[in-house]
Amino acid sequence: MELTTQHKETLDRAVRAIHERTFFARYPEHPSPKIYGETADQEGREWFQDRVGKNFSELLQAADAGWVGDEQSPYLQEPLNIKYPVVSAAAYVANACEVFDTWRQLPVLNRAALLIESLERMKARFFQIAYATMHTTGQGYMMAFQASGPHAADRALEAIAMGYEEQARFPGEVVWDKPMGKFNLTLKKTWRTMPKGIGLVVGCSTFPTWNSVPGMYASLVTGNPVIVKPHPGSVLPMAILVAELQKVLQENNLNPLVVQLAVDTHDKLITKELAEDPAVKLIDYTGGSAFGDYLEGLPGKVVFTEKTGVNSAIIDSTDEVDKMVGNLAFSIALYSGQMCTAPQNIFIPADGINTPGGKVSFDELATKFVAQFNGLIDNPKAGPFVLGAVQNPATCDRVKDAENLPGQVLLPSRSIENPMFKNARIATPALIAVEAHQIDIFSQELFGPVAFLIKTKDTAESVALARKLAAGHGAISCAAYTLDEDMKDYIADQMALAATPVAFNFKTGIYVNQHAGFSDFHVTGGNPAGNASFTNPEYVIKRFTWVGTREPVS
């Protein structure tokens, strides 16, 4: 197959990158006209605008049950009225069963090459995906481009590379020769990798591609057909990618139903019906813990989850107070706190923190946080575009409820105007001060723009609380600030016991929210925030088995 020659160098480079863990990105993250073309942005925007109110007809799959769509733009607060072809849940499974043997019997290099080709096609549509993501999730333009385009493509390539390498780890055939004294016992041994079955990928509403493509491509590269079930509120970004992959399959004389998009609506969800089907063996899920727990409890399934967590920031000392506060404030405000890695609980000792200029009190830090938030929010060139829009109206209700909790509201949430979208659903961060003993208030994830400044006895208590919450309720990230090397080691060790990575002393240029493909393991799989990590070897090897044969050689 010509694609194997065309993409082998990319595959080999990606395999090397997962070992080196240094910076590697196949797909440039900046929407530069020099890279993507002078008119690519405009064409992407016009393409999206032209899709509104129409059927998405690119998918190479039937519409036996009609056309459905339930998306609404958080920027316009109007339905997009884009419809997608649907069949019954049983039909999706039957289609996947029909193509199972053909897909699994392809050599792994061929599968990998086909999948990489789909990412190259995706690259040509990054701007379309960006506008689709903006108007289904509420992400700001830059985040929508980066996260749903280049970063998602890199994560997909990472999964392809990991899956390819693990399936090539052992030889396919050997002659096994055992000396027995006067004669040798000689056997021909062969091994093949066998996929587990049909994969189901259940997407989320806030990061529809970034969170879905690792599982999708990990299952496909290991020989499993996949049904992609996007969140009904955020379908279009994944529809574009699935359509491109289906076209690649068809062009290479393969059934495009190796991957299918299964769209549903809020009032007629099909996830449980798909997940409980005996033929579905693999499930990838991003979303709330309650449904994730249900999926993890299904018998006979291998389930990979990213669920809710409570992320902490531990402040012990710093040499640049304002930059530290600015970094954390930006991390909380980014996409209105609708990121699984956003900090929620900021632990500060009651007697303040050490700096080269002396102690900075808890109250002084609180004042600085309020000032940083207001400075960012009220900056017309930054605030609306950093905050983006709120995907779900329930998130705005959650912020209002948080302000009624028994704490001191240092900064109430409010709405500001987006100059480009007058009707955008916006909620600025709410900042609330509480005491360490009020753990019931801050021990659950309040998804959205809500943050707590928590007054502790000392840094040791801060660390103990952060570890306890991560171990008991889950955490995906932790920020920490300290000038003391012993304290740094202590924080890293304690949070590692709760399977939580730590970002130390981030001040400019990078934020705790960001996890890099080919280097950072996103979610560790070691605490209640999720049982899987992309992308480590376990993420792919649980999707296939090694099966051997033995035969005497005369």
DSSP string, 98-155: HHHHHHHTS-HHHHHHHHHHHHHHHHTTHHHHHHHHHHHH---HHHHHHIIIIIHHHH
Which residue from 344, 423, 421 is spatially nearest to 385, judged by alpha carbons? 421
Asked, for residue 526, whether it belongs to a domain, the answer is no
Q: Average pLDDT for residues 404-417, to the nearest whole number?
A: 96
Residues 82 and 236: beta-carbon distance below 8 Å: yes
Asked, for residue 45, whether it belongs to a domain, the answer is yes
Residue recorded with tokens 């190479």: 60
Asked, for residue 521, whether it belongs to a domain, the answer is no
In percent, how much of the chain has pLDDT > 70? 100
Q: Average pLDDT for residues 144-170, to the nearest whole number?
A: 97
Which residue from 250, 218, 215 is spatially nearest to 229, judged by alpha carbons? 215
State how far the Cα of 70 lies from the Cα of 79, in Å rounded to an integer: 7
Q: Where are the alpha helices (DSSP H) in 352-452?
A: 362-377, 383-387, 393-402, 439-442
pLDDT at 412 over 80: yes
State how far the Cα of 300 lies from the Cα of 21, in Å rounded to an integer: 34
> 125 and 30 in one domain?
yes
- Per-residue model confidence as pLDDT tens digits over 201-249: 999 999 999 999 999 999 999 999 999 999 999 999 999 999 999 999 9
pLDDT band at 1 (very low <50, low <70, confident <90, very high): confident
> 227 and 97 in one domain?
yes
Q: Average pLDDT for residues 474-478, to the nearest whole number?
A: 97
> 465 and 450 in one domain?
yes
Helix or strand (DSSP H, E) at 158: helix 152-167
> 327 and 254 in one domain?
no
Asked, for residue 519, whether it belongs to a domain, the answer is no
Asked, for residue 513, whether it belongs to a domain, the answer is no
Give the CATH number for residue 445: 3.40.309.10
Last residue of a domain, one of 466, 485, 504: 504
By DSSP bridging, strand 345-349 and strand 450-456 are parallel
> 479 and 346 in one domain?
yes
> 329 and 222 in one domain?
no
Q: Average pLDDT for residues 75-102, to the nearest whole number?
A: 98
Does residue 535 have a cis peptide bond before it, meaning omega lies within 30 degrees of 0? yes
- Per-residue model confidence as pLDDT tens digits over 505-526: 999 989 999 999 999 999 999 9
Which residue from 481, 143, 513, 505 is spatially nearest to 342, judged by alpha carbons? 513
Q: Average pLDDT for residues 130-151, to the nearest whole number?
A: 97
CA dihedral in degrees (89, 91, 97, 102; nearest 10)? Answer: -130
Three-state secondary structure call for residue 191: strand
Token representation of residue 407:
């704490």
Count other C-beta atoms under 10 Å from residue 365's C-beta: 19
CA angle 261, 534, 19 (to 5 degrees): 130
> 320 and 300 in one domain?
no
State how far the Cα of 230 lies from the Cα of 200, in Å rounded to an integer: 10
> 316 and 209 in one domain?
no
Mean pLDDT of the chain: 97
Asked, for residue 174, whether it belongs to a domain, the answer is yes
Helix or strand (DSSP H, E) at 193: strand 184-195
Three-state secondary structure call for residue 73: strand
Asked, for residue 338, whether it belongs to a domain, the answer is yes
The per-residue pLDDT for 258 is 98
Q: Which amino acid, one-letter code, is at 523?
A: V
Q: What is the pTM of this model?
A: 0.96
390 is in which domain, residue-wise? 312-504
Q: Which residues of 378-388 are buried (b: 16+ CB within 10 A; e: fewer)?
A: eeeeebbbbbb
> 224 and 331 in one domain?
no
The per-residue pLDDT for 554 is 82
State how far the Cα of 232 lies from the Cα of 210, in Å rounded to an integer: 16
Asked, for residue 227, whether it belongs to a domain, the answer is yes
Q: Where are the beta strands (DSSP E) in 213-318?
A: 226-229, 259-261, 280-286, 302-306, 312-315
- Give me the number of domains the chain comprises: 2
pLDDT at 409 over 80: yes
How deeply is 170 buried, as exposed, middle or buried, from its count of CB atoms within 10 A (0-12, 13-18, 19+)? exposed
- Per-residue model confidence as pLDDT tens digits over 302-334: 999 999 999 999 999 999 999 999 999 999 999
Q: Average pLDDT for residues 17-42, to the nearest whole number?
A: 95
**CA 37 vs CA 43, 58, 121, 127: distances in Å:** 10, 23, 15, 11
> 220 and 360 in one domain?
no
Q: Average pLDDT for residues 347-375, to the nearest whole number?
A: 97
Conformation bin of residue 300: beta by default, left when phi > 0, alpha when psi is -120 to 50: left
> 284 and 141 in one domain?
yes
Residues 240 and 128: beta-carbon distance below 8 Å: yes
> 433 and 408 in one domain?
yes
The per-residue pLDDT for 418 is 96
Give the CATH number for residue 108: 3.40.605.10
